[in-house]
Amino acid sequence: MSPVSRTLLLVGCGKMGGALLEGWLGAASVARVVVVEPHDLGATAGHERLLRCAGADALPSRLYPDVVVFAVKPQVLGGVVPEYRRFVGPGTVFLSIAAGKPIGWFEQQLAPAAAVVRAMPNTPAAVGRGITVACANTAVTGEQREACEMLLRAVGDVAWVEDEALIDPVTAVSGSGPAYVFLLIEALAAAGVKAGLSEELAMRLARATVAGSGELAHRSIEPAATLRRNVTSPGGTTEAALKVLMADDGLQPLLDRAVAAATRRARELAG
């Protein structure tokens, strides 16, 4: 698969698929993107390397995609994936970013010999700051793995696991994690209101503090624990707050229970 002649077939172009598409169209390594999406693609619709089809039955007859990306909701996958069996072969890898469906499910729907990569991105991908964890079956070649990583890097960082069972705790940590951070913003703002701040100022402070701290963590090479200690003066206000958050019944056991609950639910949804 030559990186300058790579043809992609994107099935579904919602928020995550759209974020990926924008990244791919800006990459010189992608020659052509065919999108199966019944709705208009907005600003990207007129791109010279883009072809939109309303459904699988409208795809060009002589289409030979290097990568087929499934970016539709998990509940409709069963009626969608079998339509792409004709692309199963050594030259095509199937990349799924749909939550909950294991690799074995795709092998059943497509063919046992299908090359399949299962990936779990998270919502910061919408601003190019996501992280995706991927797992490949044994039919995926090294070149196909590199191609999938290149595509996923269009929206952020990429990591790989060899054990697919680890996708469930990955989902609990990074897939669901943005919701935990947004809840932190809500809770921090609410605590500020209880301390006497106006709702507007408390929310402004909470949002800016979490966003700024995240950017600092992103740019720094220091471990999170070091960054925390750098903010904590002995005997100061931060230390007083951290004694509450780091107590035996503080933030860590609460997050332990939350991640465990999300992991269990991910396994239930995967069947």
Is the model more confident about 224 or about 271? 224
Neighbours of 186 (CB within 10 A): 12
**pLDDT computed for residue 3 by the predictor:** 45
- The domains found in the chain, sorted by start residue, are 6-167 (3.40.50.720), 175-270 (1.10.3730.10)
The dihedral sign for the CA sequence 104, 109, 114, 118: negative
Neighbours of 20 (CB within 10 A): 26
User: The whole model's pTM is what?
Assistant: 0.89
**In percent, how much of the chain has pLDDT > 90?**
72
The predicted model gives 213-231 an average pLDDT of: 97
Q: What's the gap between Cα 271 and its chain centre?
A: 21
E strands, 15-163, are 30-36, 50-53, 67-70, 93-96, 115-120, 130-136, 156-160
Which are the contacts of 130, defined by CB distance < 8 A and separation ≥ 6? 19, 121, 122, 123, 124, 155, 156, 157
Per residue in 106-138, pLDDT tens?
A: 999 999 999 999 999 999 998 889 999 999 999
Tokens of 218: 């992103």
**pLDDT computed for residue 27 by the predictor:** 65
Residue 49 has pLDDT above 80, yes or no: no
The predicted model gives 42-64 an average pLDDT of: 80
Per residue in 70-85, pLDDT tens?
A: 999 888 999 999 999 9
Residue 164 has pLDDT above 60, yes or no: yes
pLDDT tier, 25 (very low <50, low <70, confident <90, very high otherwise): confident
Classify strands 156-160 and 130-136 as parallel, antiparallel or unpaired: parallel
**pLDDT computed for residue 46 by the predictor:** 60
pLDDT tier, 196 (very low <50, low <70, confident <90, very high otherwise): very high
Give the single-character DSSP code of 56.
G
The predicted model gives 48-54 an average pLDDT of: 81
Is the model more confident about 43 or about 148? 148
**pLDDT computed for residue 2 by the predictor:** 46
Residue 41 has pLDDT above 80, yes or no: no
**pLDDT computed for residue 43 by the predictor:** 60
Residue 28 has pLDDT above 70, yes or no: no
